[in-house]
Amino acid sequence: MKQHLAGVTGQITSCKKVSHDVRHQMLESLKNVQQKKQTEELNEAYDDQQEAEESPQPSKRVAFAQASEAVDAIAAIGPGFKGPSYHELRVNLLGDCKKECQLLVENHRSNWAKTGCTIMADGWSDQRQITLINFLVHCTAGVTFVKSVDASDLVKDAQMLFNLFSEVIEWVGPSNVVHIVTDNAANYVAAGRLVHDKYDHIFWSPCAAHCFNLLLKDIGSMPFVSGVASRASKVTIFVYNHMTFLAWLRKREGWKEIVRPGVTQFATTFITLKSIHDHKHHLQALVTHDHFVKHRLAKTAAGKTFSDIVLDNKFWNDCLIVVKIVAPIVHLLRIVDADEKPSMGYVYEGMHRAKKAIKEMFKGKKEMHKPYTDIIKARWHKHFRCDLHAAAYYFNPAFFYDEKFVEKNNITQAVLRLLEIRSICNDLAKGIQEMQVYYDRKGSFGRESARTVTRTIRPEAPPDFDDQEFDNENVIYQEHAFPAESSRQGVEENDMNITDQPILDVALRVSSVLPRFQATLTLLELDANFHISYLFDQSNELQHSFPAALSLSQLLVSLSLTTQSLGSKNGN
């Protein structure tokens, strides 16, 4: 009746004599009913998930990694062991776990004053649309969860975020904080500026993984790339929607699934493109086999489209082009998205190597590579071009001591701007003198072991996305091999002279530069007043080296330890 009076068609005819007031009331009533249904369904789904997570069914519990560890631990005790009671689990053992957690946090707090730390903020919404902001602190000892704020009823403007950051900074200790990492939303950017205005030694930068994800999104939205991705999507949809063909493919030797999840939504698109290119011969064998040719599905419109795409050489060339364009970016995304080790010292070099790889792929033809390099430069200037990234790159021996390294004025100026901040370096002369030791490779920096380490330690390439597979491909890109995209933004180019090695050979896998060397050689001997001398081996070679300020030492160590990724788990 309400639908009849409201004029909602589909299940009943509309009443033509009802007044406008009654029609409006009925429409509002239907909206309220629909909203109530959606709320109930959402709550039921949430309750079902909670029940599934808390289910005591052994078949679900045994799936946890801790289950096998618990069984092994119990078996090691031997017969006669009695498990804890309900009271012991909820009172005694829970209290012990709390004390253990407090001791772990205190251990982390002691490291904050020695090496500096990074504050990370991660905003997300749960299934009930409750907006939460998690605050975490990262240092050499690990990551510490500080608190979670329910911001559902708060106006998430710059001032509110600044107040939240200030509370966390004061709890951690302003002198211990070097860096703040958030996403790149406008309110977080403005809050970062307010924090830096109040604490001039604390710098803000966006989450690198989130920025690389947006970079891949920009590239994926280009007409040429989106066209290739759309055709590839038709291939995967047809294969996975028809089990008879998928079963035939799975029987072939060396077959691997085409669709594999990536670190982010947009990375998955390009990883799937590469996977499709890897299965080129399998797919072509399918469309030429009697199993497909004589099947009724081959005569359908979808089957003909699938066959045309698979047998089109231009599609495979375009697919290869897109894969080679994004390969360095996807690998760099994997580096910064990993949680094990820091990666700030490799972002600067990695971005420039990605641009150079694209230029070399197009044989230096500006009209062909410019649309892609412009997107990279636009994201670089918007998100990554900051003094912290430049300084982290400068103090990375893997790049600074490379024989092909060419020092650029903007890099040196960025480092000097940091040193000129008194709260970072209260004795500029001594700080520059210590930099000179690093620059001239004196003392332990000049050891043969140090030279060997900087030349040989390289990251492990990801096994499922390695563009080295394409190095032997003899693909010649002609002038009009594919459409050139219009430039998004005209950013003045300021490329660095960098080595010719591809990024997959050079960017170290999210590893900390200075801590890696501490196990094999002495980097610096720091005065006891710095409170971080335990990080380095003692050496007699630098007994008379120039001591730098505590805050400068904190900056250098933190630059090599700062985590760049919040995980891009929220996909924002």
Residue 454 maps to a domain:
no
Question: In the predicted model, is pLDDT for residue 572 greater than 80?
Answer: no
Q: What is the mean pLDDT of residues 14-40?
A: 72
Domain that holds residue 282: 208-337
Question: In the predicted model, is pLDDT for residue 210 greater than 80?
Answer: yes
Residue of 520, 500, 504 whose CA lies nearest to 397 = 520
Q: What is the mean pLDDT of residues 376-386?
A: 84
Residue 18 maps to a domain:
yes
Same domain, 131 and 164: yes
Whats the size of the chain, residue-wise? 572
Residue that is written with structure tokens 């803000």 in the block:
204
pLDDT at 363: 86
Question: In the predicted model, is pLDDT for residue 305 greater than 90?
Answer: yes
Same domain, 287 and 224: yes
Same domain, 172 and 221: no
Q: For residues 415 and 550, what is the distance between their CA atoms, to the nearest angstrom?
A: 16
Of 4-18, 86-100, 113-127, 464-478, the one with minimum mean pLDDT is 464-478
pLDDT at 423: 75
CA atoms within 13 A on the CB side of 489: 13
Same domain, 194 and 231: no
Same domain, 200 and 233: no
pLDDT at 409: 83
Residue 277 maps to a domain:
yes
Give the residue from 280, 307, 337 where a domain finishes: 337
Domains in the chain, number: 3
Same domain, 212 and 331: yes
Question: In the predicted model, is pLDDT for residue 431 greater than 80?
Answer: yes
Q: Give residue-wise pLDDT tens across range 160-182.
A: 999 999 999 999 999 899 889 99
Task: Show the tokens assigned to 143.
Answer: 């990551």
Q: Give residue-wise pLDDT tens across range 536-561.
A: 232 333 223 323 333 444 444 444 44
What b-and-e string marks burial along 473-505, b requiring 16 or more CB atoms within 10 Å of the CB?
eeeeeeeeebebbeebeebeeeebebbeebbbe
Cβ-contact 329, 472 below 8 angstroms: no
pLDDT at 390: 85
Residue of 468, 465, 460, 463 whose CA lies nearest to 272 = 465
Q: Where are the beta strands (DSSP E) in 238-381?
A: none
Q: What percent of the chain has pLDDT over 90?
A: 19
**Entry pTM:** 0.63
Residue 464 maps to a domain:
no
Question: In the predicted model, is pLDDT for residue 53 greater than 60?
Answer: no
Name residue 372's amino acid. Y
Residue 388 maps to a domain:
no
Same domain, 188 and 150: yes
Q: Residue 108's domain is classified under what CATH number?
A: 3.30.420.40
Residue 144 maps to a domain:
yes
Question: In the predicted model, is pLDDT for residue 48 greater than 60?
Answer: no
Give the residue from 148, 179, 206 where a domain finishes: 206
pLDDT at 318: 92
pLDDT at 56: 52
Same domain, 201 and 234: no
Task: Show the tokens assigned to 125.
Answer: 């919404």
Same domain, 222 and 198: no
Same domain, 157 and 224: no
Residue 276 maps to a domain:
yes
Residue of 168, 127, 128, 162 whose CA lies nearest to 145 = 168
Q: What is the mean pLDDT of residues 382-393?
A: 83
Same domain, 212 and 301: yes
Same domain, 235 and 166: no
Question: In the predicted model, is pLDDT for residue 191 greater than 80?
Answer: yes
Residue 94 maps to a domain:
yes
